[in-house]
């Protein structure tokens, strides 16, 4: 079969398959199995060139996952008579939780403690308030589900991630708030993209951004940040599909928003601002194979300017990916250690980080093997 035929059978483009062949794109296990089926390959070793191990695809589960799962599946019953929490209380608790997510190196542990109660209160508020307050409560509930999605991302319960993303969109639409709908589209697109739905994700965020554009003048302080971040999401999605020109066009739309915001601005939950735009600029270069350009831009970015510990840790992982593309094992290991020091939990749950560590264990050579094994033990890839 030709490359085009194989890619088409998987519902993908030839460029997508080529990027896998040359090692610039990792392949989720379901898609790897799909490729094996299309190619009539019985042994995955023939596709990946080595034995496929559980550690390569297994996802960790946080200690608080069971409690969060129970909170999400304990659907509130109609007719509950409890006094509903005030919207100010839900807003304050949610704002505090977002601050914790962005400032704690152990964000999942911290959020896992408060998320079940926050879900209960937000769902109760959405069920019991009336009129305009009910619409506001629905928008708050949608945002609580965004926080839940952040907590659940890359854990061992992908079905729960889909559950909260879908609930978030339903609550946002029920609120009638364009900002809430745009935020839900932003988070849902990340999930669709992670499931190899790049084209669908890009279409979703592009439509969401265009739907906001006529409204930007009505409420710029609320709408401009999510409008800019939607274009960042579209840009990174295009870059991961190897559409560099399209990625840069979307990125330019996002970057044009920053001068319209106050100096030093960073959105309290999705983080849009100067630092996030700079991070995406680097991430796009990594995705399209411009590792040298990514490193040049990274050398000009002060990591302390990144207002989120979680994003700072992810920044080090992106730079480690660039070092890996250059074949620099020492730099890859060093940058992964920086990620760990910034936020151990971010590295532990990052598929890219775990994949890089696994690669160093297998192929990094004697120079980095000791460091690689330490990292592999820390993130749970191998037993302590």
Higher pLDDT, 185 or 156: 185
Q: Is 273 a domain residue? A: yes
Q: Is 192 a domain residue? A: no
Residue 81 CB neighbours (<10 A): 5
Tens digit of each residue's pLDDT (9 = 90 or more) over 78-91:
655 578 899 999 99
Q: Please give the Cα distance from 177 to 192 (Å, whole number).
A: 22
Quick one: 97 and 35 in the same domain? no
Q: Which of 161, 263, 250 is nearest to 202 (CA)?
A: 250
> Looking at 176, 194, 225, which one is the last position of a domain?
176
Quick one: 293 and 316 in the same domain? no
Which of 32-41, 263-272, 334-343 has the least mean pLDDT? Answer: 32-41
pLDDT band of residue 357 (cuts 50, 70, 90) is very high
Q: Please give the Cα distance from 317 to 354 (Å, whole number).
A: 10
Quick one: 285 and 314 in the same domain? no
Q: Is 99 a domain residue? A: yes
Quick one: 124 and 165 in the same domain? yes
Alpha helical stretches, state H, 24-177: 29-39, 45-48, 54-57, 65-73, 87-103, 107-128, 131-152, 158-175
% of the chain with per-residue pLDDT over 70? 84
Q: Please give the Cα distance from 246 to 262 (Å, whole number).
A: 28
- Average confidence (pLDDT) over 102-131: 97
Q: Which of 160, 147, 145 is nearest to 73 (CA)?
A: 160
Quick one: 87 and 103 in the same domain? yes
Quick one: 146 and 91 in the same domain? yes
Q: Please give the Cα distance from 173 to 19 (Å, whole number).
A: 37
Alpha helical stretches, state H, 213-350: 220-240, 244-255, 274-287, 291-299, 309-325, 329-342, 344-349
Quick one: 68 and 171 in the same domain? yes
Q: Is 297 a domain residue? A: yes
Q: Is 253 a domain residue? A: yes
Quick one: 28 and 99 in the same domain? no
**pLDDT for residue 39:** 66
Number of domains observed in the structure of the chain: 4
CB 136 within 8 A of CB 87: yes
Which of 27-36, 61-70, 211-220, 234-243 has the least mean pLDDT? Answer: 27-36
Q: Report the predicted TM-score, pTM, of the whole model to 2 decimal places.
A: 0.86
Quick one: 99 and 135 in the same domain? yes
pLDDT band of residue 9 (cuts 50, 70, 90) is low
Tens digit of each residue's pLDDT (9 = 90 or more) over 25-58:
556 555 665 666 566 665 556 665 555 454 555 6
**pLDDT for residue 19:** 63
- Average confidence (pLDDT) over 337-357: 97
Tens digit of each residue's pLDDT (9 = 90 or more) over 275-295:
999 999 999 999 998 989 999
**pLDDT for residue 75:** 77
pLDDT band of residue 196 (cuts 50, 70, 90) is confident
Q: Please give the Cα distance from 283 to 297 (Å, whole number).
A: 10
Quick one: 323 and 377 in the same domain? yes
Range of the domain at 320: 308-384
> Looking at 148, 176, 204, which one is the last position of a domain?
176
CATH of the domain at 22: 1.10.260
> Looking at 153, 176, 199, which one is the last position of a domain?
176
Q: Is 379 a domain residue? A: yes
Q: Return all residues near 141 (Cβ < 8 A) that are at least 6 apart.
A: 122, 123, 125, 126, 167, 171
**pLDDT for residue 81:** 59
**pLDDT for residue 364:** 92
Quick one: 172 and 110 in the same domain? yes
Quick one: 70 and 148 in the same domain? yes
CB 174 within 8 A of CB 142: no
């Amino acid at each position: 079969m030709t490359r085009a035929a194989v890619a088409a059978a998987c519902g993908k483009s030839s460029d997508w398959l080529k990027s896998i062949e040359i090692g610039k794109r990792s392949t989720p296990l379901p898609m790897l199995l799909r490729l094996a089926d299309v190619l009539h390959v019985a042994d995955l070793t023939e596709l990946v060139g080595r034995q496929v191990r559980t550690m390569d695809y297994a996802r960790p589960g946080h200690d608080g996952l069971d409690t969060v799962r129970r909170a999400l599946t304990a659907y509130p019953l109609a007719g509950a008579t409890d006094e509903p929490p005030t919207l100010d209380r839900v807003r304050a608790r949610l704002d505090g939780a977002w601050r914790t997510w962005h400032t704690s190196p152990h964000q999942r542990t911290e959020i896992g403690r408060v998320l079940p109660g926050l879900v209960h209160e937000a769902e109760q508020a959405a069920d019991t308030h009336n009129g305009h307050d009910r619409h506001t409560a629905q928008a708050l509930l949608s945002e609580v589900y965004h926080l839940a999605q952040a907590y659940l991302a890359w854990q061992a319960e992908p079905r729960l991630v889909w559950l909260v993303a879908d609930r978030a969109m339903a609550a946002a639409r029920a609120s009638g708030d364009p900002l809430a709908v745009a935020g839900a589209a932003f988070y849902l697109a990340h999930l669709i993209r992670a499931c190899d739905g790049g084209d669908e994700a890009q279409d979703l965020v592009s439509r969401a951004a265009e739907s906001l554009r006529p409204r930007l003048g009505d409420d710029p302080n609320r709408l401009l940040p999510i409008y800019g971040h939607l274009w960042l999401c579209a840009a990174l999605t295009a870059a991961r599909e190897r559409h560099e020109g399209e990625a840069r066009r979307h990125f330019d739309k996002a970057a044009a928003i920053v001068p319209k915001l106050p100096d030093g601005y960073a959105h309290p939950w999705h983080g849009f601002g100067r630092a996030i735009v700079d991070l995406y600029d680097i991430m796009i270069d990594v995705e399209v194979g411009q590792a040298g350009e990514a490193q040049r831009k990274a050398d000009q970015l002060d990591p302390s300017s990144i207002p989120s510990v979680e994003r700072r840790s992810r920044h080090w992982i992106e730079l480690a990916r660039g070092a890996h593309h250059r074949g620099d094992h020492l730099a890859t290991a060093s940058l992964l250690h920086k990620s760990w020091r910034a936020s151990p939990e971010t590295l532990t749950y990052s598929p890219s980080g775990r994949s890089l560590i696994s690669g160093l264990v297998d192929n990094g050579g004697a120079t980095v093997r000791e460091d690689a094994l330490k990292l592999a033990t820390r993130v749970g890839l191998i037993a302590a």
